[in-house]
Structure 1
Amino acid sequence: MKNTHAVQVFLALGQESRLNIFRLIVQRGDEGLTPSQIIEKLGIPNATLSFHLKELVQAQLLLVERQSRNLIYRPNAKLVQDLSEFLLDNCCGGNVCVPVKVMKKVKPI
């Protein structure tokens, strides 16, 4: 992934409504959502939703498919995976990252 594409993706997600739309669609996975389902869940006006969906599709974060009269929006899992790999490239100086267990503090008796 190139820096310019990563920036485009982050700019698309840098708006609260778009982030909420994307997160909602990600929760549905391959099942996807129609615009009317998104409106029902988030209460976003139709014209506003159309604008935000266009931005997310243009950034390639969402895939759209027509099923008869409906448009189904699904997350582009490949792009999300590529973006994660881009962000974590050379993480920990190129060494294997081992998660550090966080120990809970024990309250004194």
Structure 2
Amino acid sequence: MDTKTALASLNALAHDGRLTIFRLLVRHAPDGLYAGEIAERLDMKTNTLSANLTVLAGAGLVENAREGRNIRYRANVVQMRDLLSFLFQDCCGGSPEACRPLLETLVCDC
């Protein structure tokens, strides 16, 4: 991941609504949720949701697929993994054992 892509991802997540949407989609990975389900669960107006999903998709953090009349949204966990890798790339001055406790907390128990 390059700096420009990392900044776009961080900028997209630096908003309460978008961060909430992304975290909801992460909880429902890999299946994702339909737009209507997201709006209902977050009590968010559809136009606000649409604008936020557009920003997240533009940053590569959310993917969507049309299923009949509905659009299913999924968190792009690969993009998030790449972002975290970018952020930790130079972690601990070349001593990965110093970062191990932090990295172990990132392991998913799903």
Same fold (TM over 0.5): yes
What is the percent sequence identity of the aligned residues?
Answer: 38
How far, CA to CA, are the matches of 2:43 and 2:80 in structure 1?
A: 26
TM norm structure 2: 0.86
Cα deviation for residue 61 of structure 1 reads 0.1
**TM, length-normalised to structure 1:** 0.87
Counterpart-to-counterpart distance in 1, 2:7 and 2:96: 26
1:36 corresponds to 2:36: yes
For structure 2, the residue ranges without an aligned partner over 5 or more in a row are 103-110
Deviation at 1:38, TM superposition (A): 0.7
Pairing 1:19–2:19 present: yes
- Residue 101 of structure 2 is matched in structure 1 by 99
The amino acid that maps onto 1:61 is: L
Structure 1's unaligned 5+ residue stretches are 101-109
Give the AA of the match of 1:45.
Answer: K
- 1:7 and 2:11 equivalent? no
Rg comparison, structure with higher value: 1
Q: Which AA in structure 2 matches 1:99? A: P
Shift, 1:30, TM fit: 1.1
Question: Displacement of 1:76 after TM fit?
Answer: 0.7
